[in-house]
Structure 1
């Protein structure tokens, strides 16, 4: 990727011990003492990226980019021990207290929106605002849609490739079959499923994905993607949320200004979820990007997020 301007480079970075053997990587970008903002990456398990820094105004904002447990530069890498939604919410509170922040703006997309909502609903008094993209509420129905029902309708050839690699006896429950393999510690069992899962999810996230087959063998030069493993852990445990919890507790967001940026043709996190959240949260504005899917890199998405972050109080 292109080198970012000096203003977007971290002025500090540290590892914070949050207990349970976990150390959380936090980098600070922008204006020390400026408007505090926490960026929450997706996945779960993807980690913060350099590009995420460019959503913000470094002359105004004090941005904290946080790698969640098991993700990015946090340690231990890919650890799913003591790694739940409640742990991640607790980590955010520990980080806020460490930096002596009274209130902060939370920004996140996809799983990052889930975590932001879980935190804000538990600690509304600590949140000045929310800018969210591609709403995901952590329900079984959303997972079924994202990996099974949606692809069957919109990418049937891709779904067939995903399913038919499995033995015939497992094809009736392909999601469970992949999750079981991804949760197996043996690399001979989980490596190829991880590569296939990653390619499948990536193809579903792009508005103009290139046609092609999912990997059929392990390429020794391929880097093992982190997100399938952490995602499988969270899927297996229903994202450590009660059924319908985040929508039910959206009443706790009353008085918190919000802006939701939603791709109209997002196959992984469809618009109906964002609409349901906005209906339960009167202080939020819902903005559809008419030619976008799930990816933050789709045209118009990052520009809309930048505007929202700039305008929200």
Structure 2
């Protein structure tokens, strides 16, 4: 993307010790002392990106962008030790306390929406508002739909290519086979699986992907894609969330206003998840973006997120004035 204006560049960045041997990268963007907002990246494992900064108003918002455990610039890189949803929730409290923030808005998409919900349900009095994109509730059913059932129906040629990168005897349960390889010891099989998974997920993220090819061979010096490694760890453990937990605990969000931005044709996180949450969270407004898939860069998605961030930020200011 083009070089960002100075106003979108971090005015501070640091590594915070959150315990268990983990250090998290935290950057601050926008107006120091402005309305506090925490951005949570997806994956798990993808890390925060430069593009994420552009969701916010640098003249008004004090934005904290972090790389979660094992992701991005945090250390140790790709570590799955002491890396669970409960750990990540408490990391956010460490960050909030470190910066002296009483309450903040939380913005997150896909896995970021899951973590935002889990945090808000444990610490509702710390959250002014939630802006969630591509809602994911952390269930095994959703994972199977995203990587097996959905692609088999809507992208059968892509699903077939994904399965073909496995030995014939492992193709009956490709999800289990990939997770086993991705959570195993580092080696050629793990690297090849990570590249195949990364290409597969990227293609499923867009309504009309420009490149849906899954590599059949990987160069010896190819960089290991980070997201599949951390993601597989979380999938293996059902995201460390009890079945139905986030919907069952939705009543804890009753005093938190929210917005759910959802692509109509999101294959990875379909609209039924967003609809299910909105039906038990009256303070949230669900906005379906037609002609959009999963990715934040799909047409209309980022604009809808920016509007919601602005509107909910204004509402929070009015409530506390």
The TM-score bracket by the shorter chain reads over 0.9
The SS at the match of 1:218 is coil
Alpha-carbon distance, 1:256 to partner: 0.2
Cα distance in 1 for partners of 2:49, 2:195 equals 20
When normalised by structure 1's length, the TM-score is 0.98
Which residue in the other structure is 1:249 paired with? 249
The SS at the match of 1:24 is strand
Note the 1:120-199 alignment, pairs <5 A.
120-199=120-199
Alpha-carbon distance, 1:77 to partner: 0.6
1:64 and 2:55 equivalent? no
* Structure 1 residue ranges without an equivalent (≥5): none
Which residue in the other structure is 1:282 paired with? 282
Structure 1 runs (4+) greater than 6 angstroms displaced: none
Alpha-carbon distance, 1:163 to partner: 1.2
Instruction: After superposition, give the CA deviation of every residue in 1:248-307 in whole Å (9 maximum; x if it has no partner).
Output: 111100010000100000000000000000001000000010010000001100000000
1:238 and 2:238 equivalent? yes
Alpha-carbon distance, 1:167 to partner: 1.7
Instruction: After superposition, give the CA deviation of every residue in 1:204-254 in whole Å (9 maximum; x if it has no partner).
Output: 001111354311111246322100000000000000011111111111000
Cα distance in 1 for partners of 2:222, 2:295 equals 22
Cα distance in 1 for partners of 2:285, 2:221 equals 44
Which residue in the other structure is 1:39 paired with? 39
Cα distance in 2 for partners of 1:82, 1:280 equals 32
Alpha-carbon distance, 1:8 to partner: 0.5
Give the conservation status (yes or no) of the 8 Å contact 2:165–2:196.
Answer: no
Cα distance in 2 for partners of 1:213, 1:296 equals 21
Which residue in the other structure is 1:20 paired with? 20
The SS at the match of 1:39 is strand
1:258 and 2:278 equivalent? no
The SS at the match of 1:223 is coil
The SS at the match of 2:134 is strand
The SS at the match of 1:294 is coil
The SS at the match of 2:120 is helix
When normalised by structure 2's length, the TM-score is 0.96
Distance 1:288 1:182, change over 3 A: same
* Number of residues of Structure 1 aligned to a counterpart in Structure 2: 313
Cα distance in 2 for partners of 1:101, 1:302 equals 26
Distance 1:157 1:41, change over 3 A: same
